[in-house]
Amino acid sequence: MKTVTILGATGSVGTSTLDLIEREPEAFEVVALTANCDVARLAAAARRVRAKLAVVADATCLPALREALAGSGVEAAGGADAVCDAARMDADWTMAAIVGTAGLKPVLAALENGGTVALANKESLVSAGEVVMRAVAGHGATLLPVDSEHNAIFQCLEPGNADRISRIILTASGGPFRERGLDEMRGITPEQAVAHPNWSMGAKISVDSATLMNKGLEVIEAFHLFPVTPEQLDVIVHRQSVIHSMVEYADGSVLAQLGSPDMRVPIAHALAWPRRMATPCQRLDLTTIGRLDFEAPDYTRFPCLKLAREALAAGGARPAVLNAANEVAVAAFLARRIGFLEIAAIVADTLECYDPAAPATLDQVLAIDAEARNIAGERVKDCVI
């Protein structure tokens, strides 16, 4: 039996992971589940999989969680420190699916065990890539990518030819507004932005996909995960989301991973790795799909992708500032405090006025993140909607 902890068990990635685990209960033992404040879903999941521990990051929800778990035998805990303690529990495999910078400390705590961490929290590598990768090496841990794009790249890598990679090509669906002009995008609502045409994701990630910031963050993430330079990372728009990414080698061969747009496919790959497991996902039928389309991304209509690439090229603290400002701007957009196009403007303004030294420690990363959030927050106040 593989022992498993899921950090962020009530989000889209967490629930997909639980779905796979519950289909093969004889293969997995759940050690801990965490959530921010969704007590009902967390308690229900913990009861179903007989988890040893359930944790809410919002400590004010702990009494409600204890009540929901009464008589179940599942221990309850609350608070940010309790989430990190859960991450440190001796699990063979940990899903890191807490959205945003809030997932950074738990990711590092999970790596301390030297086990396998399946990473769905892209902000950890974007904001603190060097810190995280040092922790992976220092603790002898295994880091497996769960994002569909990075998991596809991982599957296409030939271990003996890692030094013969000429390009990594990340595919982007283009989001729900890939054919809209800038004038049309001014009035976009949060409801429209989260309605992704191909994938079922959380609100924040869906907005990032709509601005193409999600792809920009993935470019930064790929730089830390794989042995390439920023110049070897390309992005193409592939609206069908059938090819999830590609690796081009020195001889001109291009290896691609194809599959239905269902997050349970990459999650299952990481969950069962180095073997494979069955999934209930729809099988790919290329005759029904009929065609695959590709086009270059439009950096004018989607400036967030350009901002992310520039942040990666500049290095240092730039990716951390980018990520923090984007989180603030997306939250403001979802709260209807700013317009859709102002997300990129706020990120650009924050990058322009804040350029700290490169962080060497987690505390420095968090300090940079906090200051960038303050600056972006002030910029949000200037917006009129």
For residue 117, the one-letter residue type is: V
- Give the C-alpha distances (Å, rounded to integers) separating 34 from 5, 9, 40, 117: 8, 6, 12, 15
SS3 of 179-203: the string is CCCHHHHCCCCHHHHCCCCCCCCCH
Phi, psi of 244 (to 5 degrees): -90, -20
377, with CB counted inside 10 A (0-12, 13-18, 19+), is: middle
Residue that has been written with the tokens 């992310």 in this structure: 308
Answer whether 276's CB lies under 8 Å from 175's CB.
no
- Give the C-alpha distances (Å, rounded to integers) separating 93 from 272, 304, 364, 382, 385: 10, 33, 28, 45, 45
Answer whether 325's CB lies under 8 Å from 366's CB.
no
333, with CB counted inside 10 A (0-12, 13-18, 19+), is: buried
CA angle 309/310/312 to nearest 5° reads 65
- Give the C-alpha distances (Å, rounded to integers) separating 264 from 72, 96, 116, 146: 28, 15, 18, 9
Q: What is the pLDDT of residue 382?
A: 85
Would you say the C-alpha torsion 170, 92, 12, 128 has a positive or negative sign? negative
Helix ranges, the chain (H): 12-23, 39-49, 62-68, 80-88, 104-111, 122-139, 148-156, 182-185, 190-193, 203-211, 213-225, 264-272, 286-289, 303-314, 318-334, 342-353, 362-381
The DSSP 8-state label assigned to residue 163 in this structure reads: G
Which pair of tokens denotes residue 12? 């889209």
Residues 6+ apart with CB under 8 A from 275: none
How far apart are the C-alpha atoms of 376 and 384, rounded to whole Å?
15
Q: In what order do the strands lie in the sheet with 93-96?
A: 75-78, 53-56, 28-35, 2-7, 93-96, 116-119, 142-145
Among 181, 172, 301, 180, which residue's Cα sits nearest to residue 235? 172
Q: What is the pLDDT of residue 77?
A: 98
- Give the C-alpha distances (Å, rounded to integers) separating 302 from 10, 107, 166, 233, 323: 30, 30, 26, 18, 16
Would you give per-residue pLDDT tens digits along the chain (385 residues)? 999 999 999 999 999 999 999 999 999 999 999 999 999 999 999 999 999 999 999 999 999 999 999 999 999 999 999 999 999 999 999 999 998 888 999 999 999 989 999 999 888 999 999 999 999 999 999 999 999 999 999 999 998 999 999 999 999 998 888 889 888 889 899 998 888 776 666 788 889 999 999 999 999 999 999 999 999 999 999 999 999 999 999 999 999 999 998 999 999 999 999 999 999 999 999 999 999 999 999 999 999 999 999 999 999 999 999 999 999 999 999 999 999 999 999 999 999 999 999 999 999 999 999 999 999 999 998 876 5
- Give the C-alpha distances (Å, rounded to integers) separating 133 from 100, 218, 224: 18, 16, 7
Residue that has been written with the tokens 């993140």 in this structure: 369
Q: How many CB atoms lie within 10 A of CB 121?
A: 28
Radius of gyration for the alpha carbons in the chain, expressed in angstroms and rounded = 20
Q: Looking at the domain that runs over 2-145, which CATH code has it been given?
A: 3.40.50.720
Q: What is the pLDDT of residue 385?
A: 58
